[in-house]
Amino acid sequence: MSKDVKSMIKKTNWLIWLILVIMWNYGFPNATPLQDVIVAVILSILFIIIKKFQSRGLQNRVTRSKFKN
């Protein structure tokens, strides 16, 4: 997979994470700073897991395509 595609996926994931954090902050304005940090950490962990699944899926696709030829 090209570096451009990987970079685009990283940027997209980061943008989605940022939007979710902003939605949390505006959706729950009375949340304590601790709650804000907890939600940000949970979202970060979630996106790390998503990143691992994405990389496995992309590796499997590349591997399969090499053997089909």
Using DSSP's 3-state secondary structure scheme, residue 1 falls into: coil
Write the pLDDT tens digit of every residue in 28-52.
999 999 998 899 899 889 988 988 8
Residue of higher predicted confidence among 55 and 58:
55
Q: How far is CA 68 from CA 18, 62, 65, in A?
A: 39, 10, 5
Write the pLDDT tens digit of every residue in 7-26.
888 899 889 988 998 899 89
CA 56, 60, 64: angle at the middle one, nearest 5?
A: 175
Q: pLDDT grade, residue 63 (50/70/90)?
A: low
Domain region containing 37: 3-68
Residue-level pLDDT at 5: 82
Residue type present at position 48: I
User: Does the pLDDT at position 54 exceed 90?
Assistant: no
d(Cα 42, Cα 40) in Å, to the nearest integer? Answer: 6
